[in-house]
């Protein structure tokens, strides 16, 4: 049996909750027999992303859905909240991935600069001057 750390279990639970909720909302909008399929897909995707440690990704989706829903409510009334929330979640997820990639690149650059500055430089010999 594979043992998971407590942090990994929390990530999987957060992913299952967030993406399961998204799947439920999508299934309700589609109606009919799509609800169980959408919920199952959402839970599966959420657990998969959670296994890879996507906590920042889920946070960006959550913030995007709240801001999108509020903006749609202010601009279009209560009927536009569902569409605004879904659009905000999609944009939040996209921006979250981009920000995560930028943060990872900056951390790698900082690590590379720190490791290169710790290497002593050689003094030029009298023949190289």
* Domain shared by 86 and 105, yes or no: yes
pTM confidence score: 0.65
* Domain shared by 38 and 66, yes or no: no
Question: Using CB atoms within 10 A of its CB, is residue 19 exposed (0-12), middle (13-18) or buried (19+)?
Answer: buried
pLDDT tens per residue across span 1-44: 667 888 888 889 988 998 888 888 788 888 878 889 999 999 99
Alpha helices in the chain (DSSP H): 6-30, 34-51, 55-76, 81-117
Residue 64 lies in domain: 55-117
Q: Where residue 123 falls among pLDDT bands split at 50, 70, 90?
A: low
The Cα 119–Cα 116 span in angstroms is 6
pLDDT at 119 over 60: no
Is 122 part of a structural domain of the chain? Answer: no
* Domain shared by 96 and 72, yes or no: yes
């Amino acid at each position: 049996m594979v043992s998971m750390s407590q942090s990994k279990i929390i990530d999987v639970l957060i992913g299952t909750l967030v993406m399961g909720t998204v799947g439920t909302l999508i299934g309700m909008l589609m109606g009919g027999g799509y609800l169980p399929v959408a919920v199952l897909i959402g839970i599966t995707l959420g657990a998969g992303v959670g296994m890879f440690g996507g906590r920042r990704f889920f946070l960006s989706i959550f913030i995007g859905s709240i801001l999108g829903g509020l903006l749609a409510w202010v601009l279009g009334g209560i009927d536009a909240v569902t569409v605004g929330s879904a659009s905000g979640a999609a944009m939040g997820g996209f921006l979250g991935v981009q920000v995560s990639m930028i943060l990872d690149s900056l951390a790698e650059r900082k690590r590379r600069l720190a490791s290169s500055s710790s290497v002593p430089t050689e003094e030029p010999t009298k023949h190289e001057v």
